[in-house]
């Protein structure tokens, strides 16, 4: 269930522009890894009840086995989590493209981590440049692999009642790979996020 976005129109447009630029830059890095043109829709920004993020996961993964990897980050005193959801089939196709073998779970998770780092490193560096504050990143954590969406415990990711979610779906032109990147801002930092956006606006 979507809830009212706790940002005014100017703040929302500013966040939209920031994430559009940052996620767009990340698409170029992803294109190099996948050796394919990456389609780039406009990021979707919404405020949702955190309990409904499982439903979002279900839609994203199309009810097929998928992997989830996340990372705690901060821009100044604005804390957020980067979350990537990618289907098992896409990981296997990426392995074929990059001539990797996935003969063990360790190799599977290594490729997943490389994919996540490729996308988020560029994205978060761009965000930091625009905020003029370095993005601090903790170690990425593989939350689950080969799991059906309905079985994933989203409480491992989000621990507040509501969340601002910025979501983008990266898809290659050949349609053999796609992944979803979400930036999740918990409700206990909404005011700090709005204040940081106001600094950029004024």
Contact 26, 129 (CB under 8 A): no
Q: Which residues of the chain have pLDDT under 70?
A: 1-2, 54-63, 175
148: domain CATH number is: 3.40.1550.10
Cα separation of 92 and 177, whole Å?
9
Cα separation of 111 and 24, whole Å?
22
Residue 133, CA distances (Å) to 57, 59, 74, 128, 130 in order:
30, 34, 10, 5, 8
110 lies in which domain range? Answer: 2-201
Find, among 43, 26, 59, the residue nearest to 182 by Cα: 43
The token pair that represents 181 in the structure block: 């990147």
Q: What is the pLDDT of residue 155?
A: 76
Neighbours of 10 (CB within 10 A): 12
Contact 83, 177 (CB under 8 A): no
Indicate whether this model's pTM tops 0.85: yes
Q: What is the pLDDT of residue 55?
A: 64
Question: Does residue 68 sit in helix, strand or coil?
Answer: strand
Structural domain count, the chain: 1
Q: What are phi and psi of 46, to 5 degrees?
A: -155, 160
The token pair that represents 94 in the structure block: 């990426």
Cα separation of 172 and 141, whole Å?
25
Contact 90, 97 (CB under 8 A): no
The token pair that represents 59 in the structure block: 């839609």
The token pair that represents 123 in the structure block: 């994205």
Cα separation of 81 and 103, whole Å?
30
Cα separation of 119 and 45, whole Å?
19
Per-residue pLDDT tens over the stretch 23-53: 989 999 999 988 889 988 888 898 988 777 7
- DSSP assigned state of 151: G
Cα separation of 135 and 32, whole Å?
23
Q: What is the pLDDT of residue 107?
A: 93
């Amino acid at each position: 269930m979507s809830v009212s976005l706790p940002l005014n129109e100017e703040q929302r447009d500013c966040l939209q522009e920031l994430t559009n630029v940052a996620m767009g830059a990340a698409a170029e890095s992803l294109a190099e890894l996948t050796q394919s043109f990456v389609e780039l829709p406009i990021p979707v920004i919404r405020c949702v009840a955190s309990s409904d993020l499982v439903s979002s996961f279900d839609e994203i993964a199309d009810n097929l086995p998928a992997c989830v990897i996340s990372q705690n980050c901060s821009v100044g005193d604005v804390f957020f989590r980067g979350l990537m959801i990618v289907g098992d089939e896409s990981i296997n196709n990426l392995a074929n493209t990059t001539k990797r073998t996935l003969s063990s779970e360790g190799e599977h998770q290594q490729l997943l981590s490389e994919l996540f780092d490729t996308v988020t490193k560029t994205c978060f560096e761009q965000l930091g440049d625009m905020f003029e504050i370095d993005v601090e990143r903790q170690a990425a954590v593989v939350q689950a692999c080969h799991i059906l969406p309905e079985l994933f415990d989203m409480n491992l990711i989000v621990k507040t009642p509501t969340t601002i979610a910025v979501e983008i779906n990266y898809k290659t032109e050949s349609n053999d790979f796609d992944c979803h990147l979400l930036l999740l801002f918990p409700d206990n930092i909404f005011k700090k996020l709005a204040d940081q956006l106001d600094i950029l606006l004024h």
